[in-house]
Amino acid sequence: MADQDYQIRIINNEKGKGLVALRPYNAGEIILQEKPLVCCQFAWNEDYQYLACNHCLTPLESAEENARRLSGNINLILPYPECCETKKELIVECPTCGVKYCSDECLTEAFQKYHRVLCLQSREKNENHPLVQMKEAWKQMHYPPETATIMLPARMIAFINQASDKTVALSTFNQFCHKTVNEDEEIAHNLLGEKFIGQIDVLRQMIKGALDDGDVPHWFSPDGFRSLLALVGTNGQGIGTSAYARWVKNVSGLEMPDDRRMEIDKLIDQIYDAMDEVAGTFLNNEGSGLYTLQSAINHSCSPNAVVEFPYSNSTLVVKTLRPIQPDEEICIGYLDECQLERSRVTRQRMLSSLYLFNCHCDKCLQQADNDEVSSDEDDDDMYTS
C-alpha cells in the first residue's frame, strides 16, 4: 500500500497523533499491512503446548494435530490435507537452545534482531536460568487469559542490546505511549495494580540481572520499569494464529457438490463444538506485538476499520469496515466486539484501566446522558491479569 494513501498527523490536543486517510477507501479495503517490531507468544499459551514459531507465531502443528489436541480426539482425521498450510518440512530449531521456527528466514531474522542475547545457551531448560525464573514468576502473577508477557519487554531490551545503532533502536520504542496512569492521574495501568506492587520489583530485579548491559539503564529503574510494563500493556496488539482455522478457511473456498458441502460444514461444526468443550475459547496460538503504524491508530467505540491477521502469523492488516473519506481519521476498536456493545460506563472503565484514556468518540458523546450500567455482568467485566 502506497505511503501517500494515509498519514500520521496530530488530530487534536486531546488525542495527539492519529492516522488519517488521504484518499477515499471503500468498505472492506485494505489500508495497510505491517509486521511487528517485536512480538512474543504468551507464557501460559506456550506452556499449554500451543506450538508456534518463536519469531512470527506461525502455527507449527498441522491442522489435524491442532484439531486433535484441542478436541481431545486423537483419532480425528481431517479430509483435504492439502488445505493445511503448515509446512513442517521447513521447521528449524535454534542449534543452541532448541526453540523452534517456521523457517530458516525466521530463525535468521530472530538471531539478527534479539535471539542471540536471549538464547538460553543450553538445549536443556535450566530452571535456574534468570530468564526461566523470570517467566515463571510472571506466570504466578498473571494467570490466563493473558494480555501481556514479561518476555516482550525482554525482547525489546535484547533488540536494543544487539542493535548496531542503539540510539536509533531505542527511539523506535520511545515513540510508543509509556505513561503509567490515566489522563486524570487517577487510574494506574492494570499491570501496575496494587496487588502487583511487591512482585513488580521482583520482576525488575530479575530482568535487570538477566539483561542489563548498560544500554537502557532507565528501563531498570523502578519508575522506568513501570513505564516499560505500561508501554507493553497500552500498545501491545493481541495476535492469534490457528492451523485449524486456516484449514477451515481453505476448505470453505473449495468447490464441491452441495451434499458434500453440507457434510463438511457439519464436520467443521462438530469439531468446533468438541474444541469448545475441551479448550473453551482458548483455541489459538496467542501473543502480542508492537507495531509502529497500528499503534498510531486511535480508538473509537464505533470504529471505521479493524485489525485482522489473515496470514496466520504476526503480520497484521488494517481493513475498512465502512467507506472512509479523505481527511477522515482512521479508527479501530481497542476492545473486542462484545465489549464495544457494553454500556458507556463499562467501556470507559475498561479503556481507563487497559489504555489509560477517557474515550470521547461520537458513540460515547451520544451516550453521555445514558450512563447506567447495561447488564449485571458489567460489574465483573474488568479483566485483571
pLDDT tens figures, 111-131: 999 999 999 765 555 777 888
pLDDT tier at 1, thresholds 50, 70, 90: very low
Domain assignment present for residue 379? The answer is: no
285-298 mean pLDDT: 95
363-372 mean pLDDT: 82
Q: Is the dihedral of CA 63, 64, 65, 69 positive or negative?
A: positive
pLDDT of residue 383: 42
pLDDT tier at 381, thresholds 50, 70, 90: very low
Decide if 31 contacts 318 (C-beta within 8 A). yes
Domain span at residue 59? Answer: 38-237
Give 235's contacts (C-beta < 8 A, 6+ positions apart). Answer: 176, 177, 290, 295
Percent of the chain with pLDDT strictly greater than 90: 75
CA 334/CA 252 separation, integer angstroms:
29
Percent of the chain with pLDDT strictly greater than 70: 93
pLDDT tier at 370, thresholds 50, 70, 90: confident
72-78 mean pLDDT: 97
Q: How many CA atoms lie within 13 A of 36 on its CB side?
A: 28
276-294 mean pLDDT: 93
CA 188/CA 320 separation, integer angstroms:
32
Residue 384 scores a pLDDT above 70: no
pLDDT of residue 281: 80
| 184, three cell numbers | 486524570
| 64, three cell numbers | 489435524
pLDDT of residue 124: 55
pLDDT tier at 185, thresholds 50, 70, 90: low
| 192, three cell numbers | 501496575
Domain assignment present for residue 127? The answer is: yes
The full length of the chain comes to 385
- CA angle 193/196/199 to nearest 5° reads 155
Domain assignment present for residue 373? The answer is: no
Q: What domain count does the chain have?
A: 1
Residue 320, φ and ψ in degrees, nearest 5: -75, 145
Average pLDDT, the chain: 90
290-318 mean pLDDT: 95
Residue 2 scores a pLDDT above 70: no
Domain assignment present for residue 121? The answer is: yes
Q: Which amino acid is at 123?
A: R
Residue 227 scores a pLDDT above 80: yes
Is the pLDDT higher at 4 or at 173?
173
Can you give the pTM of this predicted structure?
0.91
pLDDT tier at 260, thresholds 50, 70, 90: very high
Domain assignment present for residue 153? The answer is: yes
Map residue 23 onto helix, strand or coil. Answer: coil
Average the pLDDT over each of 3-7, 181-185, 256-260 and give the range with the smallest value: 181-185
Write the CA distances from 135 to 123, 202, 256, integer angstroms: 17, 12, 48
**What one-character DSSP code corresponds to residue 262?**
H
Residue 218, φ and ψ in degrees, nearest 5: -65, -25
**What one-character DSSP code corresponds to residue 313?**
S
Domain assignment present for residue 185? The answer is: yes
pLDDT single digits (tens) 327-356: 999 999 999 989 999 999 999 999 988 898
Decide if 243 contacts 85 (C-beta within 8 A). yes
Domain assignment present for residue 231? The answer is: yes
User: From the centroid of its chain, how far is CA 101?
Assistant: 18
Average the pLDDT over each of 24-38, 58-72, 143-157 and give the range with the smallest value: 143-157
Domain assignment present for residue 348? The answer is: no
CB atoms within 10 A of CB 77: 9
CA 242/CA 285 separation, integer angstroms:
6
Per-residue HEC secondary structure of 118-155 comes to: HCCCCCCCCCCCHHHHHHHHHHHHCCCCCCCCCHHHHH
Residue 68 scores a pLDDT above 80: yes
Decide if 133 contacts 210 (C-beta within 8 A). no
Q: How many CA atoms lie within 13 A of 204 on its CB side?
A: 20
CA 112/CA 259 separation, integer angstroms:
51
Write the CA distances from 202 to 137, 146, 206, integer angstroms: 8, 19, 6
289-298 mean pLDDT: 95
CA 385/CA 383 separation, integer angstroms:
6
Residue 263, φ and ψ in degrees, nearest 5: -65, -45
Residue 374 scores a pLDDT above 70: no
- Grid cell 521482583 is found at 202
pLDDT of residue 282: 86
pLDDT tier at 385, thresholds 50, 70, 90: very low
pLDDT of residue 15: 76
Closest CA to 79 of 91, 61, 88, 67: 67
pLDDT of residue 371: 61
pLDDT single digits (tens) 200-222: 999 999 999 999 999 899 999 99
Residue 3 scores a pLDDT above 70: no
